[in-house]
Structure 1
Amino acid sequence: MEASHEHRMKTLTYGERKKKKKRQITQRDNRPRVNVHDYTIANLKDCTVGRMPGTVEGQQFIIEKCENMNIYIFDHIATVTVDDCINCNIFLGPVKTSVFVRDCKDCRLMVACQQFRTRDCTKIDTFLLCTTKPIIESSTAMKFACFQYYYPQLEEQFQSAKLSTFNNNWSSIFDFTQVPGESNIFLLPADLKIEDYIPLPTTEPFSNLEISTEPCRSVVPITLGTRKRTSDESSLIVFFNDGSSHDRAVKFMQTMKSEHPDVVFVQSSEVVLELDEVERVFGNQSYQAAAKQGPVIGLELCGEDVIRYCQEQIVNIMKGTTGLVFVSQNKTLAKKQIENFFNYSDMQMKI
Structure 2
Amino acid sequence: MGCFFSKKRKAQKDSRAENNEEQPKQYSWDQREKIDLKDYMFSGLKDETVGRLPGKVAGQQFLIQDCENCNIYIFDHSATITIDDCTNCILFLGPVRGSVFFRNCRDCKCTLACQQFRVRDCRKLEVFLCCATQPIIESSTNIKFGCFQWYYPELAFQFKDAGLSIFNNSWSNVHDFTPVSGELNWSLLPEDAVVQDYVPVPEEFKAVRVSTEANRSIVPISRGQRQKSSDESCLVVLFAGDYTIANARKLIDEMVGKGFFLVQTKEVSMKPEDAQRVFREKAPDFLPLLNK
Return the TM-score normalized by structure 2. Answer: 0.90
Residues 1:265 and 2:262 aligned together: yes
Q: Which runs of 5+ in 1 are unaligned?
A: 1-14, 294-351
More divergent stretch after superposition (242-251 vs 65-74): 242-251
**Distance between the aligned counterparts of 2:287 and 2:276, measured in 1?**
8
Deviations 1:35-72 (A, max 9, x none): 11100001001110000001000000000000001000
Tell me the amino acid that sits aligned with residue 291 of structure 2: K
Give the drift of 1:22.
4.6
**Distance between the aligned counterparts of 2:53 and 2:270, measured in 1?**
37
**Distance between the aligned counterparts of 2:24 and 2:263, measured in 1?**
58
**Distance between the aligned counterparts of 2:173 and 2:256, measured in 1?**
24
Tell me the amino acid that sits aligned with residue 219 of structure 2: V
SS at 1:23 equivalent = coil
**Distance between the aligned counterparts of 1:254 and 1:276, measured in 2?**
31
Residue 143 (structure 1) aligns with? 144
SS at 1:278 equivalent = helix
SS at 2:264 equivalent = strand
Tell me the amino acid that sits aligned with residue 285 of structure 1: P
Deviations 1:167-188 (A, max 9, x none): 0000000000111221101100
Identity value in percent: 49
**Distance between the aligned counterparts of 1:256 and 1:182, measured in 2?**
37
Tell me the amino acid that sits aligned with residue 114 of structure 1: Q
Residue 230 (structure 1) aligns with? 229
More divergent stretch after superposition (273-282 vs 72-81): 273-282
Residue 274 (structure 1) aligns with? 271
Give the drift of 1:23.
3.2
**Distance between the aligned counterparts of 1:247 and 1:108, measured in 2?**
31
**Distance between the aligned counterparts of 1:69 and 1:112, measured in 2?**
20
Residue 123 (structure 2) aligns with? 122
Give the drift of 1:113.
0.4
SS at 1:118 equivalent = strand
SS at 1:165 equivalent = coil
Give the drift of 1:160.
0.4
SS at 1:221 equivalent = coil
What are the residue-to-residue correspondences of 1:10-89 with 2, within 5 Å? 22-25=24-27, 27-89=28-90
Return the TM-score normalized by structure 1. Answer: 0.75
Deviations 1:206-248 (A, max 9, x none): 1111111000000000000000111111111111001211110
**Distance between the aligned counterparts of 2:274 and 2:224, measured in 1?**
24
Residues 1:248 and 2:242 aligned together: no
Deviations 1:236-276 (A, max 9, x none): 11110012111100111122233x1x211000000001111
SS at 1:237 equivalent = coil
Q: Does the CA-based 8 Å contact 2:41-2:64 persist in structure 1?
A: yes
Residue 131 (structure 1) aligns with? 132
Tell me the amino acid that sits aligned with residue 231 of structure 1: S
Residue 335 (structure 1) aligns with? none
Aligned residues: 271
Bigger Rg over Cα: 2
Measured on the aligned residues, the alpha-carbon RMSD in Å equals 1.5
